[in-house]
Chain A
Amino acid sequence: ELKVEQNPLFLSMQEGKNYTIYCNYSTTSDRLYWYRQDPGKSLESLFVLLSNGAVKQEGRLMASLDTKARLSTLHITAAVHDLSATYFCAAHNNNDMRFGAGTRLTVKP
């Protein structure tokens, strides 16, 4: 059964600092997603990673995938308050997408 673990679950950062969110999954996955959710809102797709070594960047966020280690990371560079949200990773296999519990990120001035 495909299981996904994210850590940390809570992250409080200072503006301008860097940090990484980790996402481990238990079995073969054919793609890895990162989503953002603001309080009371729906999920917004950030990145889709399809192959080993894939790296994608958008603004201050960069996601990578290591399929051999079954690990994806979401790196935050020089955090700003607007990045405060909950971030989910999700591993996909055979029409089944399993989510991690989410990382609640708070960026403080």
Chain B
Amino acid sequence: NAGVTQTPKFQVLKTGQSMTLQCAQDMNHEYMSWYRQDPGMGLRLIHYSVGAGITDQGEVPNGYNVSRSTTEDFPLRLLSAAPSQTSVYFCASSRLGRTEDGYTFGSGTRLTVV
């Protein structure tokens, strides 16, 4: 049981480049989400999805796109990278509803935009 798998683990981009961060889960979780973690600010929600074909914006969605074509996958796209997007990105999944299960987080992607 792999849980939540994120790729790549590290990435360096030049300003203006685009890329996709991959996230896959094998727990049949309905809910998937993307967070960014910056020093001293905790984690901030970028986008989330409650099921295939359904996505919504979180706290800091600008500059990012998502789609959810399957239950398992939830890729995050940076359309035109900016230095302000340098961060550690975490994907997380969970069952829907008031469950006592916590969110399961991936191992993270450390992105540097130069």
Contacts and interface: CB of A to CB of B under 8 A. Distances in A.
Interface residues of A, number: 25
B74 interface: no
A45 B40 contact: no
A30 B44 CA distance: 18
A39 to B, nearest CB: 12
Interface string B38-53: 0011111100101000
B98 A31 contact: yes
Interface in A11-46: 30-31, 33, 35, 41-46
A96 B33 CA distance: 9
A65 interface: no
Nearest to B43: A99
Given A43-B92, A97-B33, 15 more contacts: A4-B42, A31-B98, A33-B102, A42-B107, A44-B105, A45-B101, A48-B102, A88-B42, A88-B43, A95-B48, A95-B50, A96-B45, A98-B45, A101-B40, A101-B42
